[in-house]
Structure 1
Amino acid sequence: MSIRLAPAFDPARTAGRHAAGRGLVTRVRVLAANDDGAEDEAPVPGAFDPVLVEALRHFARHGLDAPRVAHAEAVHAAGEGNDPATERWIAITGMFDRRLAAAAKRDLIPA
């Protein structure tokens, strides 16, 4: 049995190939962005959102039950009067379910 290796077709990598063949434009090659945070480059804003990291860890612990557990934690923090923790848990809830987070924000955080 023979094995055939073919490059992946990515129109973004070969944008303008047909136009370049006719001499209309130069060939454009799209390269991957470097996101390793090199010292000579400015950091990408939002590359490592701390709320997203916490939400992913929370999801790893609780699975598909993560939105309900995060909402319960927000209610618990609001009951204790811990406003920063309430806002943090509402933000984590918002990563999973925006409607549940909006309802929690409306009900738990005083205006």
Structure 2
Amino acid sequence: MTIRFAPARKRGHPAIAHTGGPSRRRRAANDNGPDSSHHLLLEAALRHFAGHGLAAAEHARDNADAARNAGDDLQCAWWLAICRTLDRRMADAYARRIAGTKA
């Protein structure tokens, strides 16, 4: 099977969609905006991972559980968010478990 590469089309060709002028600043499609809380959480999760390796998500879940048992809901939410950043399934399972015990 032969592969043939077509030459690039000229800029004014109707087959090319043009969404803005060259002076328009474009953001990356995966850019979540200026929300710094996401960056702080990601940095904390990466630092936690650096300190605990592959067991970091489990360690974060255990920290969330200890904070919950101590009655510190804010710390529990923080550690659960770190756990969720590292392992969403583990964090969701823990969140379901503690939601079932509150009832």
In the TM superposition, structure 1's runs of 4+ consecutive aligned residues that sit over 4 Å from their partners are: none
Is residue 2:72 matched to residue 1:82? yes
2:50 is matched with 60
What amino acid sits opposite 1:53 in the alignment?
E
The percent of aligned pairs where both chains have the same amino acid is: 34
1:98 is matched with 88
Q: Greater helix share, 1 or 2?
A: 2
* CA-atom RMSD in angstroms: 3.1
Cα shift at 1:65: 1.0
TM-score normalised according to structure 2 size: 0.64
Question: For 1:3-59, what per-residue CA distance to the aligned partner results, in whole angstroms no more than 9, with x for missing partners?
Answer: xxxxxxxxxxxxxx71128x6279x98x996xxxxxxxxxx3346622111101101
1:12 is matched with none
Cα distance in 1 for residues equivalent to 2:49 and 2:63: 14
Cα distance in 2 for residues equivalent to 1:52 and 1:85: 16
Paired residues in the alignment total 84
Secondary structure of 2:76's counterpart equals helix
1:45 is matched with 34
TM-score normalised according to structure 1 size: 0.60
What amino acid sits opposite 1:83 in the alignment?
D
Summarize the Cα distance change of 1:91–1:48 in structure 2 as closer, same or farther, 3 Å threshold.
closer
Higher RCO (CA < 8 A, seq sep 6+)? 2
Summarize the Cα distance change of 1:32–1:56 in structure 2 as closer, same or farther, 3 Å threshold.
farther
1:108 is matched with 98
Summarize the Cα distance change of 1:48–1:77 in structure 2 as closer, same or farther, 3 Å threshold.
closer
